[in-house]
């Protein structure tokens, strides 16, 4: 063996060992990214001295501020909280010099640390974003509002209730600990099939991956072309059928459409080898066949939401290549759908080899990724509002969470089968193959989104941090068919669960993107329209969904197998 070969092998072994150590001790780069930031500052002593000087100057400002406050001199905050930061909204944080000083000390350090990180020299964008993410987690957790002895509101409530709030908070904590999650809503206030997912319908197909629900018509006739809704399997389908006032399903049925929807199986360890191919063949292709057979229509309108939209877009590209001219989809609607994962939002902080290998190791043990683990990751993206807000209310204040159906659905998590989720994370998120022509093979076909010829109605949300709208917009230029793009106000859920009515607080922008037009240029051309986008979408749908026919709930080949919402959603 030559010396070169020897040292090459030793170097590779060292790299492998380093990779394994990171995977086991720091899979998501908390320590590594912080260490790199520290190294960058040490390599730039002049820049370091400047930021340290600024810190000393800020501390001096804080000392002068607190001194003036204790002498009774009115003064505005030196380090004001962000306008959307509600943690310090109680008047006591401003009225009391003592609590105002504690608040300002926390904000001084928060602002300085975050500003210093973003000013770190010689640091790549990915590492900077990752460091900033983990720093936010630490700073959010360290807020004085999160601790009893530094939260004046919690102290006052404990005194006014003679300690009963603390007893109630401890009871809430024990219940949540036993359940393994922080309650965001009253989990006893809702039940699927009773006050959630109540639109009348039947299970007309049950397979290893999904139940197909078909809803009862509420009009004398329905459009001959059925609507096939592909829900995400990261969560349960009833986000599209919350209750009579919020249900997109109910709205569509009342508009005279024949509506089918996927209710996915909640996988266990026996489904570890279920693949993305299976979700296409045994999922979306299967529900289309069921809808065709019952309705008698050769084509359907396909709708996909979130991950269901990614699958629907993949199916369209797959079908256009496999059966050109015979695709059983006349048009499609894609809701908050990512197909280009180059900039997937804050979730990218979890995406590198060590992080993906760690997730793989977790899934290898169980055969799936637990929904609670995934939900925890998404909560961390908005930890103040989705974690610490409930920590304070539930435990320090001893309050019972309010009743909110969307939050109940959010906590009703599902599992993800290992093989499918590995493909989803590595091939789509990490390698971004779906947007690249012929880079990804699914169910025996190379996938090229440019092969999609069907008209698309795309809806994204302005404040969506899960599927950033500028990334979802990419498909508008990549697709080979006509596209209508709608941008709703609000976020990933409320931007979609957006029923029309006099109390609607939402708005939207809508138009047809021009070839090669950027997301910003497209938006600049559009006028903001008050209200829900649902009615406008229905007007777009109706001409494509055929003549009026008598409704038919089931058939001999697909008889009714039980009432909606079925059984899979209860797992």
Show the CA angle centred on residue 549, arms to residues 287 and 212, nearest 5°. 15
List strand residue ranges (DSSP E) for 173-255, in order: 201-206, 210-215, 222-223, 227-230
CA–CA dist 431, 342 (Å, integer): 8
Q: Kindly report the three-state secondary structure assignment for every residue of 270-299.
A: HHCCCCHHHHHHHHHHHHHHHHHHHHCCCC
Bridge partner residues of 440 (DSSP) = 447
CA–CA gap between residue 335 and residue 358 (Å, rounded): 30
Closest of 131, 155, 134 to residue 144, by C-alpha: 155
Is 306 among the catalytic positions? yes
Residues 281-296: b if buried by 16+ CB within 10 A, e if exposed: bbbbebbbbbbbebbe
d(CA 52, CA 67): 23
> What does the H/E/C string look like for 19-72?
HHHHHHHCCCCHHHHHHHHHHHHHCCHHHHHHHHHHHHHHHHHHHHHHHHHHCC
Catalytic residue among 210, 290, 306, 316: 306
Task: Name which of 6, 377, 405 is nearest 242 in CA terms.
Answer: 405
Which DSSP letter does residue 527 get? P
Q: Are 341 and 313 in contact (CB under 8 A)?
A: no
Which residues are annotated as catalytic? 306
């Amino acid at each position: 063996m030559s010396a070169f070969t020897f040292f090459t092998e030793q170097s590779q072994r060292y790299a492998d060992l380093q990779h394994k150590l990171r995977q086991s001790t720091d899979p998501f780069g908390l320590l590594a990214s912080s260490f790199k930031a520290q190294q960058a500052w040490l390599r730039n002593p002049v820049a370091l001295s400047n930021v340290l000087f600024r810190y000393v100057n800020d501390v001096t400002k804080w000392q002068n501020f607190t001194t003036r406050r204790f002498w009774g001199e009115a003064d505005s905050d030196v380090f004001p909280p962000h306008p959307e930061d509600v943690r310090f909204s109680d008047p006591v944080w401003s009225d009391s010099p003592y609590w105002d000083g504690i608040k300002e000390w926390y904000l001084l350090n928060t602002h300085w640390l975050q500003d210093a990180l973003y000013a770190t020299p010689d640091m790549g964008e990915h590492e900077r974003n990752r460091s900033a993410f983990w720093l936010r987690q630490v700073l959010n957790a360290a807020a004085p509002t999160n601790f009893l002895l530094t939260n004046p509101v919690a102290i006052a409530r404990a005194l006014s209730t003679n300690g009963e709030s603390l007893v109630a908070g401890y009871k809430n904590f024990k219940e949540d600990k036993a359940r393994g999650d922080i309650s965001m809503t009253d989990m006893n206030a809702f039940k699927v099939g009773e006050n959630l997912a109540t639109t009348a319908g039947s299970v007309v197909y049950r397979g290893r991956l999904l139940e197909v629900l078909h809803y009862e018509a509420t009009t004398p006739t329905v459009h001959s072309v059925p609507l096939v809704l592909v829900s995400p399997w990261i969560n349960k389908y009833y986000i599209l059928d919350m209750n009579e006032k919020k249900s997109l399903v109910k709205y569509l049925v009342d508009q005279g459409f024949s509506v089918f929807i996927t209710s996915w199986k909640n996988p266990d360890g026996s489904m570890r080898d279920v693949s993305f191919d299976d979700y296409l063949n045994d999922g979306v292709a299967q529900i289309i066949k069921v809808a065709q057979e019952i309705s008698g229509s050769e084509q359907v309108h396909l709708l996909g939401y979130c991950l269901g939209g990614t699958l629907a877009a993949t199916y369209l590209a797959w079908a256009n290549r496999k059966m050109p001219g015979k695709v059983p989809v006349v048009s499609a609607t894609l809701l908050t759908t990512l197909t280009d994962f180059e900039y997937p939002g804050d979730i990218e902080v979890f995406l590198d080899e060590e992080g993906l290998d760690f997730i793989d190791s977790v899934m290898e043990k169980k055969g799936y990724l637990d929904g609670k683990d995934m939900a925890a990751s998404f909560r961390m993206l908005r930890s103040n509002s989705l974690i610490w807000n409930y920590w304070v209310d539930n435990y320090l204040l001893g309050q019972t969470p309010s009743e909110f159906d969307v939050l109940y659905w959010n906590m009703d998590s599902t599992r993800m089968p290992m093989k499918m989720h590995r493909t989803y994370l590595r091939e789509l998120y990490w390698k971004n193959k779906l947007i690249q022509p012929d880079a990804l093979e699914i169910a025996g076909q190379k996938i090229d989104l440019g092969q999609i010829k069907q008209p698309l109605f795309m809806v994204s949300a302005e404040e969506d941090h899960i599927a950033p709208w500028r990334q979802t917009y990419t498909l508008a230029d990549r697709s080979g068919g006509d596209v209508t793009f709608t941008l709703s106000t609000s976020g990933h859920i409320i931007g979609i669960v957006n029923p029309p009515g006099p109390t609607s607080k939402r708005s939207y922008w809508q138009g047809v993107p021009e070839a090669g037009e950027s997301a910003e240029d497209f938006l600049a051309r559009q006028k903001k329209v008050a209200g829900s986008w649902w009615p406008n979408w229905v007007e777009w749908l109706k001409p494509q969904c055929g003549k009026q026919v008598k409704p038919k709930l089931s058939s001999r080949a697909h008889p009714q197998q039980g009432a909606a919402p079925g059984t899979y959603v209860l797992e």
